[in-house]
Structure 1
């Protein structure tokens, strides 16, 4: 396995040339603490000193900046805070494109941690986590809450932690404590306590906890996790919870009964599509948050029932690399338009014509930035203001997709893409510069990751296809087609195993789900 207990981020050549950097001449989407809203500064400047935003100016070339300040020309560019992903599973990067048509039942039976963990060695976890986090940085995601359900063994769990440290991203690494064959619950708790005592080389990686078995786990285990949270006070606890028709109940009310919502720990419930009014009120009263993963909620059929009613206690996430990219711009755009569509339908269903738009681009922008910081109880993240962490993204306003913009917020939310991002700073250091990652060892990682992913993919696709047990909870559904004629069906999945005979056979078969 890779060397552990890293003393530094050895893979980076991206440190600033001086203690201060001035991003000069850009349009800055800042945040005004007095009005509690966005404040656009045009043709201004932003001073970074060490890891913090030290100054905001309404002119491109301010006086009285430190003598050794490096000047970075940002004329015609848009400067935003770094985007925050409040729910993802980085280890699944190796599964990219394999779950394009999956349902949640398929996911559980084929790609989830219990179903797929045996495919991974420690070095596979390391490569996937590191590659995924660098993909996130490339997309302007500077902070990630990683629900790390790779607790299959000590070495495989630690590999995800080491990769998080090496990435240079800001990561809340939350190992998912869950009894696993050959890795007992007591050993997982022991390892977590050991990790909690560890001195990390910087403040970018924070230890959290993930726990999902509030209603289905052994009572003594759940009580032990609740005690650990109250005693150790981890920064973040994250929990999968869907609500509505979905059968597993890790609801705010149940978690609250264990006394962990009114602690200093930030609690992030992921998904929550079927949230009730009572659960929403409980999140508000305890200042805990929901992580909405827009593409995942739509792809897996989680639903969009009530979660738009609690956006003031919500942030956004990606979920899994199995099916989605790590692009938070896309997640914000999808949630904006999905919410608009849903609320417009309520009006149209009464044979009325909508008189106003129910959600703004400003709100979508805040969900992908400041709201993520608040969900993690880090008000210094996801915003541009003096004193905040210097986690920043610089968009090229002269790129083909942004050319001609007038409103910088609308430009980012509705027109920008990852290719428009010139620079990304995390903690004041360039992690992407002039359109390229500054991670020096990226070519070596690419080679190692591709070998790992190919090996995992081959083993995954050679497994017998799982058969659902026919439970009525997983019944129903239909297919649509865009091709005329009989027997066209869904079409095959083009998932190369390296076996040309199998590939040719698959191309002639009608897809019948996983």
Structure 2
């Protein structure tokens, strides 16, 4: 019989149609949620007293370049143009496979520490198979649920070299990774492609066909200067290559007509609100998507710029869109809006169910329901910064911090318990991470 864990007496926020429970129990059997009810009588389970806690679905970080963990704060004052020059054409070129491994391992462990149970690792500093293997091995070692999006490096071309925007995605390497990791329960492999904004039409056609034929999600950045293929999206749609497996990150360069059409096609969108506002992308797509009946998933994007905390991303995305909506109402009506346009529950959905939708895993993760994977977070709420709790969702989104993330479970296994990440020698890992970061920055004269 599968090991069973009974989480007892929590305030349960399910993000599911069954609704929430002011106080309730949740039973885990193996890697799956077996039951949720106001009270469960179970004799053969390990009982976890969760009184004073709010139980929520594990957060989903829908976009992060985890390879930059050893460069925390290095890019904090850079615009996007400085980032392209200093990171992709500079610091990234120094990374050895062991640098990717330690950065990805510590970055993934910190995601668990912050309550993230699913990480989209958008890895685009991987010039060799050894770099890919190092990053994937780190994800598996961490115990997080991960989607490894295989990308390609973006160095400045040397004389005589084919620039990266003219190079098709290396299909053979993606196929190697798919074969090597088939059947991994916590890992999926997808493609982080250039897309028509950053590549030639021939490359975009190749990459989108590859994703379609291999059954992969194809994720790409969209924005940051003029497109290399201005009519690329129209050509890709005409070729039948767009659909729900296409994910656009940022998306600021999209016209209203394009955005509406892409929503009709079921494509997904991932915003990185804090990064976008800091580096010069523009305002997140949140409001434009909401007007079309859609919502974004959210990602940290760059720990070289900001923290890895997904609650911060939800809070910032909520705050900036409420501000934009409030300003628009005042300009139109000359008064403060009568009510907020976005609820805190909607913001919590951006870092849970919308992340699951982006990964096409709504049937497995993103909410708490019987039959779904046991990916969950216990938020300690009987604390100085949280009491009194009048609304559990609002307390999590707007009051909670990393200090309140008490316990984190992935697929029925505790990865953080009583405030401590399990199964890792953190001091040793941080020493390796510091050495890696110093090596990389010193090599580039920083």
TM-score normalised per structure 2? 0.91
Q: Which residue of 1 aligns with 2:337?
A: 354
Retained in 2: the 8 A contact 1:292–1:317? yes
Q: Which residue of 1 aligns with 2:144?
A: 169
Once the two structures are TM-superposed, the CA of residue 151 in structure 1 deviates from its matched residue by 2.5
Retained in 1: the 8 A contact 2:285–2:296? no
Rounded to whole Å, the distance in 2 between the matches of 1:92 and 1:406 is 39
Name the SS of the counterpart of 1:80 in structure 2: strand
Rounded to whole Å, the distance in 2 between the matches of 1:179 and 1:111 is 9
- CA distance 1:223–1:273, change in 2 (3 Å): closer
Rounded to whole Å, the distance in 1 between the matches of 2:92 and 2:295 is 33
Name the SS of the counterpart of 1:173 in structure 2: strand
Tell which structure's C-alpha radius of gyration is larger. Answer: 1
Retained in 2: the 8 A contact 1:313–1:375? no
Name the SS of the counterpart of 1:75 in structure 2: coil
CA RMSD of aligned residues (A): 2.4
Q: Tell me how many residue pairs correspond in the alignment.
A: 433
Q: Does 1:205 align with 2:181?
A: no
Name the SS of the counterpart of 2:170 in structure 1: helix
Q: Which residue of 2 aligns with 1:343?
A: 325
Aligned residue runs from structure 1 range 201-240, under 5 A = 202-234=184-216, 236-240=217-221
TM-score normalised per structure 1? 0.79
**Greater mean deviation of Cα atoms: 41-50 or 146-155:** 146-155
Name the SS of the counterpart of 2:64 in structure 1: strand
Aligned residue runs from structure 1 range 301-380, under 5 A = 301-304=280-283, 307-311=286-290, 312-350=294-332, 351-379=334-362, 380=364
Retained in 1: the 8 A contact 2:329–2:336? yes
1:256 corresponds to which of 230, 233, 237: 237
Q: Which residue of 1 aligns with 2:177?
A: 195
Q: Which residue of 2 aligns with 1:25?
A: 9
Retained in 1: the 8 A contact 2:273–2:316? yes
Q: Which residue of 1 aligns with 2:95?
A: 120
Once the two structures are TM-superposed, the CA of residue 218 in structure 1 deviates from its matched residue by 4.7
Once the two structures are TM-superposed, the CA of residue 203 in structure 1 deviates from its matched residue by 1.3
Retained in 1: the 8 A contact 2:250–2:285? no
Retained in 2: the 8 A contact 1:332–1:364? yes
Q: Which residue of 2 aligns with 1:381?
A: 365
Rounded to whole Å, the distance in 2 between the matches of 1:68 and 1:418 is 32
Rounded to whole Å, the distance in 1 between the matches of 2:208 and 2:9 is 50
Once the two structures are TM-superposed, the CA of residue 219 in structure 1 deviates from its matched residue by 4.5
Q: Which residue of 1 aligns with 2:108?
A: 133
- CA distance 1:455–1:26, change in 2 (3 Å): same
1:56 corresponds to which of 24, 36, 45: 36
Q: Which residue of 1 aligns with 2:248?
A: 269
Name the SS of the counterpart of 1:282 in structure 2: helix
Once the two structures are TM-superposed, the CA of residue 322 in structure 1 deviates from its matched residue by 0.7
What's the CA shift string for 1:174-212, capped at 9, x where partnerless? 111468789995793222111111235731110000111
Rounded to whole Å, the distance in 1 between the matches of 2:35 and 2:272 is 34
- CA distance 1:319–1:215, change in 2 (3 Å): closer
What's the CA shift string for 1:435-478, capped at 9, x where partnerless? 0000233333222112111211222334xxxxxxxxxxxxxxxx
Name the SS of the counterpart of 2:12 in structure 1: strand
Rounded to whole Å, the distance in 2 between the matches of 1:267 and 1:220 is 18
Retained in 2: the 8 A contact 1:89–1:148? yes
Once the two structures are TM-superposed, the CA of residue 273 in structure 1 deviates from its matched residue by 2.9
Retained in 2: the 8 A contact 1:241–1:270? yes
Retained in 2: the 8 A contact 1:276–1:306? no
Q: Which residue of 1 aligns with 2:82?
A: 106
Rounded to whole Å, the distance in 1 between the matches of 2:433 and 2:219 is 28
Once the two structures are TM-superposed, the CA of residue 237 in structure 1 deviates from its matched residue by 1.3
What residue ranges of structure 2 are gaps of 5+ in the alignment?
none
Name the SS of the counterpart of 2:148 in structure 1: strand
Rounded to whole Å, the distance in 2 between the matches of 1:152 and 1:459 is 18
Rounded to whole Å, the distance in 2 between the matches of 1:340 and 1:218 is 37
Q: Which residue of 2 aligns with 1:41?
A: 21
- CA distance 1:198–1:410, change in 2 (3 Å): same
Rounded to whole Å, the distance in 1 between the matches of 2:148 and 2:258 is 26
Q: Does 1:400 align with 2:379?
A: no
What's the CA shift string for 1:361-397, capped at 9, x where partnerless? 1111111111111111111211011111111000111
